Amino acid sequence: MMEITNYELRPERKARIVWSVVEKITNSIGALKILLLVVTLFSILPTFGQYTIPEKPSFQTSVYDYANVLSASEKSQLEEKLIRYSDSTTTQIVVITIESLKGEDIGILTPKWGHTWGIGGTEKNDNGVIILLAKAERKIWISAGYGLEDRLTAGIGGEITRNIIIPEFKAGSYYNGLDKGTDALFDVFKGKYKGERKQSKKDGGFPILPIIIIIIVIIIIISKSKNNGGNSGSSGGGMSLTDIILLSSLGRSSGGGFGGGGGSFGGGGGGGFGGGFGGGGFSGGGSGGSW
């Protein structure tokens, strides 16, 4: 009887196949770079939104429910709880709800709002947290001031959003989500928060995005080497503007999902929570999610 054996490619053969694919892609690098540039431009279009942050209100408190997602009693309870917490800790947690982002990126708008209003205990401490909820887009984002970033990391903020806040939103209660979410923030700053990472059932596979990014970077490097080889007299040793845009966009997108962001916003002015916002130093990071 004829014996049947499984056919497997040897490592050398696999390497040659991968390299041949890379070479073929490299030969069409011009078209690939144009395609990547178009995708990159479309990916950053949402950052050019039309949302105008309102002027810092004369009465500065802890809850601004512009989207009217809370009842009068719910707003009052949440507001008083956060003010009491600020009075005892100097940490200002401000909740803002809006009807729509109007095309803005919530991860950019949130820390920018914190900077514009100067949310935080003092400019020296920057103990401010801003929670922004966009009703129409069903998105929420949490950003911490410089003084709290070491405790409220993007990872912890993401856990609180996914595991505590959003389930309550899905159940139909904005108040419960914000109430329990801010309680979790209290625990974080007390050092008592115990996170629980919930693994998605779809997880477990080998991440393909990092491989794609690495291959694209290699292709760009090879392309530059081929273009510059044999042209030593030229000054073209640096990367083109297209390369810089592509590489920077890949770096931003590699974090995936609702991770932290870049950028930096300086401090504001004012007094305490009762007399005004006084911090405002936000790094532009944070975390959030949608439902």
Q: Are 283 and 149 in contact (CB under 8 A)?
A: yes
One domain, residues 37 and 100: no
Same domain, 19 and 133: no
Of 159, 160, 99, whose CA–CA distance to 134 is shortest? 99
Query: Which segments of the chain does DSSP mark as H helices, in order?
Result: 11-27, 29-44, 72-89, 106-117, 154-160, 166-170, 174-190, 209-228, 241-253
- Domain check: are 192 and 73 in the same one? yes
Q: Do 77 and 132 fall within a single domain?
A: yes
142 shares a domain with 40: no
Q: Looking at the structure, do residues 26 and 129 belong to the same domain, yes or no?
A: no
CATH of the domain at 159: 3.10.310.50
Which of 170, 92, 100, 103 shows the shortest CA–CA distance to 131? 92
Per-residue exposure over 264-285, b if at least 16 CB sit within 10 Å of its own CB, e if not = ebebbebeebeebbbbbbbbbb
What's the predicted TM-score (pTM) here? 0.61
Residue 230: the pLDDT is 53
Same domain, 192 and 69: yes
Residue 107 lies in a domain: yes
Predicted local confidence at residue 35, as pLDDT: 63
- Which pair of tokens denotes residue 18? 């991968």
Number of domains in the chain: 2
Q: Give the burial string for 108-124 (b: 16+ CB within 10 Å, else e).
A: bbbbbbbbbbbbbbbbe
CA–CA distance, 247 with 250 (Å, rounded to integer)? 5
Please report the pLDDT score of residue 285 as a whole number.
74
Provide the residue-wise pLDDT of the chain in tens; the chain has 291 residues. 555 444 555 666 766 776 776 666 666 666 666 666 656 655 555 555 578 999 988 888 999 999 999 999 999 999 999 999 999 988 999 999 999 999 999 999 999 999 899 888 665 567 899 999 999 999 999 999 888 888 899 999 999 999 999 999 999 999 999 999 999 999 999 886 766 554 444 444 455 666 777 777 777 777 666 666 555 444 455 556 556 555 555 544 443 334 444 444 444 433 335 545 655 567 667 899 999
Domain that holds residue 82: 63-198+277-290
Residues 38 and 74 in one domain: no
Task: Looking at the structure, tell me whether residues 79 and 193 fall in a common domain.
Answer: yes
Q: What DSSP state is assigned to residue 54?
A: P
Residue 158 lies in a domain: yes
Q: How far apart are CA 276 and CA 115, in angstroms?
A: 13
